[in-house]
Homo-oligomer: A and B are copies of this chain.
Amino acid sequence: MSTIPTATISRLVTYLRILSQLEAQGIKKTSSDHLAEEAQVSAFQVRKDLAYFGRFGTRGAGYSVPTLRRELRRILGLTRAWNVVIVGMGRLGQAIANYPSFDQYDFLLKGVFDIDPSKIGQKILGLEVQHTDALPTVVREKGVDIGLITVPQSAAQDAADALVRAGVKGILNFAPTIINVSREVHVEPVDFLAGLKRLSFYIQNPQLKEELA
């Protein structure tokens, strides 16, 4: 079975963002050196990451920005739209639902859920907040692929279980806890406290340069 380092997938997402910015600026050609500098990795790392997926660009001539951008979008599965739901309509869930570039990237919000009776029935972006009991129906009828969890830590595993039972294939977990799901469901954590703790490390240890490769 092939394996691709998760860090490679993270970097592909970064390269794609850089390519989109170059394209918006009307720039047609780029190089592994330029991508490396912008992504703060080595040029060797850029070439190695891309090599998992084939041959791109021409030695000495660099990469065509629109071609490489199209290839990365294809590799990442971003040439189609993904239907998503959010479980947890507190402040964080509402902030995420209202994130301006959310559906600009073809992540289409199809439902918002909570278990708090005072929240159910409220309208968020034209969607009525529903009880999580309605998840299986919504996931099936709307073809939902991905669930976002924005509930408190103590409710995160229940929310994950409800999403998995309802049939989502992936979960983006904002709760600061590890959730356990069956192996077929992929979980991506978004833990900003983890980011703060990494910052704390680097501020505390300025002599420990980050490894760039």
Query: Which A residues lie at the B interface, using CB under 8 A?
Result: 1-7, 9-10, 12-14, 16-18, 21, 38-39, 75-78, 82, 84, 90-92, 94-96, 98-102, 105, 107, 145-146, 152-153, 169-172, 174, 176-178, 184, 186, 188-190, 192-211
User: Looking at A6, A94, A146, which has the most chain B CB atoms within 10 Å of its CB?
Assistant: A6
Q: List chain B residues, Cβ under 8 A from A199.
A: 82, 146, 170-172, 186, 188
Q: List chain B residues, Cβ under 8 A from A77.
A: 200-201, 203-205
A82 adjacent to B196 (CB under 8 Å): yes
B190 adjacent to A82 (CB under 8 Å): no
B202 adjacent to A5 (CB under 8 Å): no
Shortest CB distance A5–B (Å): 5
* CB-defined A-B contacts under 8 Å, sample of 20: A1-B207, A1-B209, A2-B208, A3-B211, A5-B211, A6-B211, A9-B202, A13-B197, A14-B194, A39-B178, A82-B196, A91-B91, A99-B192, A101-B193, A102-B193, A146-B196, A170-B200, A186-B199, A188-B196, A189-B195
Please name the residue on chain B nearest to A99 by beta carbon.
B92
Q: List chain B residues, Cβ under 8 A from A3.
A: 208-211
Q: A2-B209, A95-B92, A99-B92 are in contact. Are A145 and B203 (CB under 8 A)?
A: yes
